[in-house]
Amino acid sequence: SIDWAYASPEALEMYAKFAQVSPAVVAELRGKYFPKAALALSRVGRIEASIQEAVQAKRLDRPLTAEQTRDMLRPIADLNR
């Protein structure tokens, strides 16, 4: 979980090993470029605009249906229960 990744020294060690850098480097970069607040999954705004931009950029063939949008957002809703 996000909480574990930001609270556990073990998480720093694991990622440092994966990235082949020291835990100190991971801690510095995490704090500087990836603040925990930036990873919050509690609010998704302007979803219709995002979908339209994805269609215009050809990342989506067509806009998502209401059901597809709901399904896409369900994991976030489940996390916030």
What predicted TM-score, i.e. pTM, was given to this entire model? 0.49
pLDDT at 78 over 90: no
pLDDT reported for residue 44: 73
Per residue in 48-66, pLDDT (tens digit) is 999 999 999 999 999 999 9
What's the rounded Cα separation, in Å, for the pair 49 and 39? 21
As given in the structure block, the two tokens for residue 22 are 């020291």
d(CA 23, CA 14): 8
Within the chain, residue ranges assigned H as helices are 2-7, 9-19, 23-33, 47-56, 66-79
Does the pLDDT value for residue 23 go beyond 70? yes
HSE (CB half, 13 Å, CA atoms) of 40? 7
For residue 41, the tally of other CB atoms under 10 A from its CB is: 12
Q: Three-class SS of residue 60?
A: coil
